[in-house]
Amino acid sequence: MLTLLLAAGALLALYLFGKRNFSYWRRRGVAHDPPLAFFGNNARNYFMRRSITELAVELYRRYPTERVVGFYRANRPELLLRDPALARRVLATDFAHFHRRGMTPQHRPPEPLLRNLFFADGDLWRLLRQHMTPTFTSGKLKAMFPLVVERAEKLQARALAAAGGETDARDLMARYTTDFIGACGFGLDTDALSDDDSAFRRLGARIFRVGLFEILVLVLRDLFPALFGGLRVLWPIEKDFRRLVDDVLRRRAGEPSGRHDFIDQLLECRKKGLVEIDSIERPPERVRLELDDEIVAAQVFVFFVAGFETSSSATSMTLHLLAHHPAAQRRAQAEVDAVLARHGGRLSYDAVKEMTYLEWTLMEGMRLFPSLGFLMRECARAYTFEELGLTVDAGVRVMVPLQALHTDPQYWEQPDEFRPERHEPARQGPHYKLAFLPFGGGPRACIGERLGLMQSLAGLAAVLARCTVRPAPGAPRHPRVDPLSGVVQGVRGGLPLLFEERTPAAS
């Protein structure tokens, strides 16, 4: 009997431990779904049934009259913002309270490759941002553009070679972004567009391959942070990636090479030595940082990850949407033809900047299927939403559900329709800048926005100048989101399209 009582007591204690924080939103009067012990409201994500973005969209639409909705990721309370004005306050106006992204385990140093501008928090983030902002000036992007053109021309050749058959646009654009990153990030000719077994392409695929090990680590870190918060999800690829970066640095002997690529820009930053700023975590203290090889490798890693996945997602989805909207595709092609005719038939930095309708098509693709389906911030110290009478504690994460905001009929007329003209400045409504955030917002907005746009538009222009895309037989018009998607959204089964050769109208 005593054994049974002890076992029952242990089970009860375990159950209570698994729901220890579940009164957080009830006590604050915040609407939320009933949570499950241990899993909170995130069970379907842990069991690979829904992506984080899909759960956020469902929650957003289930509470149409609420400005905020509560959520539990395991036992950790999070707040989903339904009001874009509140989102702007968190991202920008009251940034001092929400400067943390909160994407790494609390109270532990981040993994070496995560000591980068996207994942870093606090003073490390601020120092890196100050170090790296000069890397993305218009002048430096323009100097880098010839490297973009070379890769765009290879993309065009690969698309033409595929004409007459079915091609996975997701894979095609991933090869293009891989070649772009190799050239503009590492100074390497990776040949991912020509070589089906490119080592660089394999590395990219390996980084984004989510297997049982990665899922298990992420789930254990959420469910039992005290025990498993120190588990590292990137250690299987960390050694190979560091070796790649170290090889590039050795070839340059630690000095800029004159290629104007990303490693050159980082080496120029490193030559400046220590950078000192006011602490964002412990004002009025001053903090300092010097870019050592480990931090350089971490910045190259995030350049690789951000450029590889976000741009290929955005451009391939835009091609998919154009395939299903031939009138919009013809208009985009007519613009590309006319602009290239004015520039001697060659892509250039200035030519791409003139392709306004093409940019609108890309913006519309990112509205309907944003590469980042959500933004996350963590409360650095207690914060009160005055109009709600709601105070959240330090450590609570706040989510901005981009996919839901981008398709809310309250802000967009017929939101499920593909209409590039929405993005014409004269047609942008009063909520446009609040409800459309494909590159984030505030001080932590994407630092590489202009570089990503430049690369994506060049790739789209190169394809559309010589090819017309059409839906592949049997391929779904609305592809299913991959439930394993994390920060960046993916789709199941790729994006198969038919590529047909065309002759530019201006030639």
**Band (14; pLDDT cuts 50, 70, 90):** low
**Average pLDDT of the segment spanning 267-290:** 84
Report all structural domains of the chain as residue ranges with CATH numbers, in order of start: 2-501 (1.10.630.10)
Specify the pLDDT at position 15.
57
Bridge partners of 499, per DSSP, are: 469
pLDDT digits (tens, 9 = 90+) for 208-229: 777 778 888 888 899 888 888 8
Whether 480 and 493 have beta carbons less than 8 Å apart is answered as yes
What is the spatial distance between Cα 42 and Cα 56, in angstroms, rounded to a whole number? 10
**Residue 136 pLDDT:** 82
By three-state DSSP, how is residue 482 classified? coil
What confidence score (pLDDT) does residue 262 get? 81
Residue 411 clears pLDDT 60, i.e. is over it: yes
> What integer pLDDT is reported at residue 363 of this predicted model?
98
Residues 6+ apart with CB under 8 A from 462: 152, 153, 155, 156, 159, 347
Weakest-pLDDT range from 42-56, 77-91, 238-252, 478-492: 238-252
Are 437 and 408 a contacting pair, CB within 8 Å?
no
238 confidence band (pLDDT: 50, 70, 90): confident
Residues 392, 398 contacting (CB under 8 angstroms): yes
* Contact (CB, 8 A) for 399 and 376: yes
446 annotated to bind ligand: yes
pLDDT score recorded for residue 346: 93
Compute the mean pLDDT over every residue in the chain, rounded to the nearest whole number: 89
pLDDT for residue 276 is more than 90: no
Position 472 scores a pLDDT of 96
Query: Which is more confidently placed, 193 or 489?
Result: 489
pLDDT at 7: 65
**281 close to 426: Cβ distance less than 8 angstroms:** no
Q: What does the pLDDT average to over 412-430?
A: 95
- Vertex 302 angle, CA 296 and 308, to 5°: 135
Q: Is a pLDDT exceeding 90 seen at residue 45?
A: yes
What per-residue confidence (pLDDT) applies to 183? 81
Q: What is the DSSP letter of 67?
A: S
Residues 457 and 173: beta-carbon distance below 8 Å: no
d(CA 500, CA 507): 17
More confident residue, 297 or 342: 342
Among 1-5, 69-73, 470-474, name the one with the lowest average pLDDT: 1-5
Question: pLDDT by residue (tens digit) across 144-197?
Answer: 888 889 999 999 999 999 998 899 999 899 889 888 888 877 777 777 777 666
Q: Give residue 19's pLDDT.
A: 78
Other Cβ atoms within 10 Å of 324 Cβ, number: 15
- 260 pLDDT above the threshold of 80: no
Please tell me the predicted confidence (pLDDT) of residue 464.
Answer: 98
Q: Which amino acid is at 293?
A: D
CA distances from 99 to 118, 352, 399, 484 (A): 12, 34, 13, 27
CA 135 from centroid of its chain's CA atoms? 19
Above 80 in pLDDT, residue 232? Answer: yes
377, pLDDT greater than 80 = yes
CB 381 within 8 A of CB 396: no
Least confident of 245-254, 374-383, 393-402, 481-490: 245-254
Q: What is the pLDDT of residue 506?
A: 55
Whole-angstrom Cα distance, residue 178 to residue 191?
Answer: 9
Residue 382 in contact with residue 98, Cβ under 8 Å? no
Q: What radius of gyration, in Å, describes the C-alpha atoms of the chain?
A: 24
Whether the pLDDT of residue 361 is over 90: the answer is yes
12 has pLDDT over 70: no
Compute the C-alpha angle 366/188/152, nearest 5°.
Answer: 40
Q: What is the mean pLDDT of residues 365-374?
A: 96
How many CB atoms sit inside 10 A of residue 219's CB?
18
- 3 state SS of 167: strand
pLDDT exceeds 60 at position 107 = yes
The answer to whether 494 and 170 are in contact (CB under 8 A) is yes
**Which of the residue ranges 183-192, 220-229, 311-320, 482-491 would you say has the lowest mean pLDDT?**
183-192
Question: Does pLDDT of 432 surpass 90?
Answer: yes
For 129, the enclosing helix (H) or strand (E) is helix 122-132
Specify the range with the lowest mean pLDDT, choosing from 1-15, 291-305, 382-396. Answer: 1-15
Average pLDDT over residues 23-51: 96
Nearest to 151 by CA among 499, 463, 465: 463
Contact 130, 277 (CB under 8 A): yes
- Bridge partners of 72? 77
Percent over 70 (pLDDT), the chain: 95
pLDDT at 475 (0 to 100): 92
